[in-house]
Structure 1
Amino acid sequence: MDTLKYQQLIYKQMLEKFKTWSEQEFITEREIYSFLHNLKGTAGTIGLDDFSQIANEKLHLLDETSNNKWIKTEWKAFLSTLIEGIHFYQTNANPLNEDTQLAIPNHTLNQELILVIDDDIIFISYMKRVLEKNGYTVIIAYNEKRGLELIYELKPAIVFLDIMLPDGNGFSILQTLKKVKKDRMFVTIISANDCKANHVKAYELGALDFIPKPIDEKILISYVTNRLAFKKELEHSIIIDELTQVYNRKFLESQFEYLIQQYNRNQTPFSVVILDLDYFKKVNDTYGHLVGDEVLKGFSALVMELKREQDIFCRYGGEEFVMLLPQTSVQDAYSLIEKIRQAMVKKDFTANGVKFNVTFSAGLIEANACLLHPKKMLEKADQALYEAKQSGRDRSVIFDNIADVVTKKVNIKIIVIDDVSIIRNMVANYFKNWTMNENYEIEVMEFSNGLSFLNSNWYEPNSKYIVLLDGLMPNMDGIEVLKKIREEHTSNEVIVSMLTGRKGNEHVVEALKNGANDYIVKPFNITDVSNRIQNLINRMFM
């Protein structure tokens, strides 16, 4: 396996380092610190947890900036556990296995995005750990400026907002949000300053809740579960047709726009179908409107039972319905509609003890570059429906003036910037073997320092980017690189995750203040990181 290969590399690197040091009259404390700093992150990442733990313990005894001289007997005694351990691991290491294909978990992410805006790094870390452990995607901001940027860019479902911030306060964020459309976003104040005046002001400015610090883990998860369930119920009531309990015209319009955006971004195919019940006026005239309502409900229930999970079925008005079929050619859409039509022919309705049947006609069209507008597509589907009606009803007709379209995948570039070659190569090779769904094309780039990254032609307008950026590098550290990125690119284009192995929270705070979307503490588990990246891709680039 790859992990064993990297373990062998680190054994070799350590032995070479010790040999080089042994040939020198002395080394500096600073050199020992740098060696242990890199070892802490690298060893933990590739499964050598005891090496990482030893390195971490030793780091606390050293000064990162000291030039004190250590002779060979001193540094060998100080590092004796590592020297002894490396020989043990070499002796007991398993033989290398053949390469295996790595793949991300094949599951659907359906959690909403949560934003935490707070200047307390310990509290942020707590919130992030608890929420991510329960499957939520968490983005964090350290100050007001970055918090507002992320709200506008990413439109989170819940915003947890502290009152006290380094460059302002939570109330000013609430004041700003009162002037913009929030798309049913829940803004919740979490503050240790739990006075009556703050409660009143928070609610007056539009906060939906006020939670005092500290907050218990179980209460936090229960709160998030409750609010997201309420949000779903609220959205349901706004977008559901009361009679048939299928989506209404308002929801159709929003989903239509979404599918068009997807098509513009990567040419993802989709089809549109208009369905109209045949001779429905005759049903109302013969059996009455109450029976007509039952027919509408029965037809809707049948479609909901037979359609696929991803298909969007809406009542357009009266006895007319529209179905949007994502990632579906018109031929596949036709097969599905025909299956539903044939089932409808066999469905019995009853009025005053008399059984009767109702059929429907359908017009279909597939998205193409020449007709990429809801009104135009519905007009052409309606033309096909008219043809179905004129041809005798109870049939499906495809609007056949469709241009050939070439499907184009979304290009996502994962950039690894780290001066530690073992970590950089391991992470890069992992993602080179990463398997995502057919709509994405993954490309991996790696750089040993920030200057080489910034001086390269790394950015292309039609791609999306995930940057894994080490915080501690020679010549230009990660924070300076991050600042350069954020001068030109938003989180909608470039997501930055800072990698940090430094002691103290000030480095994490600095990263968040300057626009990092996430931070990853070394040593990290590469599988956890890949899951987190998958989550970010689905939430921000879909």
Structure 2
Amino acid sequence: MDNKFKVRITHSGFAILLALFLFLIVIELLFFNNKNKHNILIDKDTANISQTITTKINEQINSMVVSLKALSYSLNIQNSKNTKAFDEIAKKVMADNDVISELQYAPRGIITDIYPNQTKHSAIGHDLTHIEERKKGVLLSIENRSVSLIGPVKLIQNGKLAFILRLPLFNEKNEFTGFVNAISYLDTFREKLALDKSYYKILGFNPDGHRLTIFNNLEKTCEKTDNSFTVKVPNGEWLFVIQNQQKIHQDNSIYLRCLLYIFSCLICVYVYKREMYLKQSQNSILDMNMMLQKASYTDELTHLPNRRLLNEKLDAISTLTNNQTYSIAIFDIDNFKQVNDTYGHDVGDDVLVAFANICLSSIRSTDIIARWGGEEFVLLMENTDSHYGQEICTRILHTLSQHRITSGDSHFSVTSSVGLCEFTTPDFTITGVMKCIDEALYVSKKTGKNKVTLGHLNANK
């Protein structure tokens, strides 16, 4: 009874079951590890955002620094600190930098020139070294003798939030002579970051000692994942906090799992059936192609290679570059038409088959005997000179003459005439070789038949 229900699992069946088992494990892992995969994607997105933002911020700050240095250099070359000269220079500088909202010149720390100047609530006359909210940052910039980034700060002149990039100026004696300032409004600066579709918070460092929130649109109520990274800026760094809005769903519904299991089973069954069908179809096509190829190169009656195969073999030999000797012979069964007329075509076919079998039993495995057409056969002998080739042909003729053909009460034998030729690669042509054996065969026919005549290739080229 136990043997009745035993099922032998084949290799393909085992592979399918193993694939199904692994697929179900993957499904379980997808349920349990969905959150981890989600976090990995968030980390990758954060890394990409971090790289993009860092590049953009550095580009903007660097462009502002370059503009400030260009302004400082131009003012120094101009050697004229009047308002008209400053406005002309500042206008050119701002034309090449759309991040800068305002440029200031402050000799000895006192703002004397602003472009574009606003008559209302102007900052002209402000002494940066004495404004308590700015004093620490100003002194830090002078002490470090480098560009400093302040912000975001609320501008005195218009109440807007902005960043201030200060470049301290020094004379040839390394004495502090003033500042050139570039102001970028917070909204203008933020637009360049292209983060309108993201939820994020930026914390900036103010040299006066306050960590300020530059921007914050984080949502507190929704399920989220926060990732942070820092971006280095002159005299400090900014902290970016990115909020991911994609919710993580962990649905462990038994119905969903059952559907997945059923679906996986159906897929495995489909794949198995499809592979079996494709395999069978492929084997059938291969078998059919082999049969067609064999048929195209085989004589239907004698099952010998046909003229097509021999021609392709000769074509291949004609491409050889090394010296190699071949002998080729054409056999023509004597009085074959008389055999057909006397005994009938069926007996004639028996004669052809008998001749083919005699040839096969008399030649080497490297030789090729092919039915050339009608009662003609061609024998190609590799690495064979005319002397040895003549021996092989003579042996075939002798065996053929001893073979008795039976037709009813009659018994008879047949003979064959042979034309033989020797050629050497690569110094030959197929046309010349075939002409040589045809002419030699003609001589055999005219001089008594049942003999081998050796033709001379050179004389027939």
Is TM more than 0.5 here?
A: no
TM score, norm. by length of structure 1: 0.32
Please say which structure displays the higher CA radius of gyration.
2
TM score, norm. by length of structure 2: 0.37
